[in-house]
């Protein structure tokens, strides 16, 4: 039903009220009563054709002379069927999982990717799933494929790789709205895998490696700058205390001797050598 409310267009859906058995007409009732007479005449043999069992997870939509008998489906349990005038269609209410085959999609930034996913849905209204569409499951599967291509075609590659949850939510809402008229409830949609072309994978790997190398160089430069500042501060401290340099020499010798080296180079200050040279 489409109507304008406060200047805005609003669309509302309502389950149609199907005709009951009272609208069969005079000729229809005559056929039905005649068939019931044959059923009673062949009793108890006909009982095996008249009683049908519906499982707990199923519902049966009953047609009598081409018309729906009741507004609600039959089941679960036993119900009576006239084999001459009645036909029924069983509908499974359990959740169905459907693997969307890989779809070749051109993203908004002109990148070709292959994307697959999975859809979980169930029949929430057996009457609509039987009367409004020939095959509700097949229609929902085709709709899931086209919806995946349409939604991902409006996304960039970066959004596709980073915002899978948001894309799944948008796809679920679009599917649920479109399949509602078929009596289908879409419970969940998930993006399984995004396959990129090999050339694009190599390009992205090279870009990531270059970015990591750039960050490593920046970190190394910052370390060198901090080390130079520390050396500058140490040199200022040693300049104020001349004996600190001799202690540093002895500490260096101690660390070298601990490694059991055969050759030890002992540095001497130039001012000490100049003192002996002046005495000569």
Question: Is pLDDT above 80 for 25?
Answer: no
Model pLDDT, residue 212: 84
Average pLDDT score over the chain? 81
Looking up tokens 């997870």 gives: 57
Q: How many CB atoms sit inside 10 A of residue 223's CB?
A: 10
Each residue of 70-104: pLDDT tens digit? Answer: 888 888 888 888 888 888 999 999 999 999 999 88
Q: Is the pTM of this model over 0.85?
A: no
Question: Is pLDDT above 80 for 258?
Answer: no
Each residue of 236-248: pLDDT tens digit? Answer: 877 777 677 677 7
Question: Is pLDDT above 70 for 211?
Answer: yes
Distance, CA of 42 to chain centre: 57
Model pLDDT, residue 40: 82
Angstrom distance (rounded) from CA 237 to CA 230: 11
């Amino acid at each position: 039903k489409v109507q304008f409310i406060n200047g805005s267009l609003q669309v509302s859906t309502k389950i149609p009220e199907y005709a009951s058995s009272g609208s069969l007409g005079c000729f229809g009732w005559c056929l039905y009563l005649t068939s019931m007479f044959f059923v009673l005449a062949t009793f108890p043999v006909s009982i095996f054709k008249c009683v049908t069992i519906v499982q707990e997870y199923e519902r049966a939509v009953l047609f009598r002379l081409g018309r729906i008998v009741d507004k609600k489906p039959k089941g679960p349990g036993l119900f009576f069927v006239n084999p001459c005038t009645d036909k029924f269609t069983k509908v499974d209410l359990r959740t169905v999982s459907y693997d969307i085959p890989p779809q070749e999609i051109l993203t908004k930034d002109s990148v070709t990717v292959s994307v697959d996913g999975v859809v979980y849905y169930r029949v929430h209204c057996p009457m609509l799933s039987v009367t409004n569409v020939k095959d509700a499951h097949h229609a929902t599967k085709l709709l899931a494929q086209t919806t995946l291509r349409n939604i991902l075609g409006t996304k960039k590659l970066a959004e596709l790789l980073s915002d899978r949850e948001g894309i799944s939510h948008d796809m679920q809402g679009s599917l649920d709205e479109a399949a509602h008229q078929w009596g289908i409830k879409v419970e969940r949609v998930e993006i399984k895998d995004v396959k990129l072309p090999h050339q694009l994978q190599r390009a992205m790997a090279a870009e990531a490696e270059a970015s990591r190398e750039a960050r490593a160089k920046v970190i190394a430069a910052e370390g060198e700058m901090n080390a130079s500042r520390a050396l500058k501060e140490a040199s200022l401290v040693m300049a104020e205390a001349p004996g600190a340099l001799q202690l540093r020499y002895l500490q260096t010798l101690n660390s070298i001797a601990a490694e059991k080296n055969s050759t030890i180079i002992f540095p001497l200050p130039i001012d000490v050598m100049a003192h002996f040279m002046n005495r000569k």
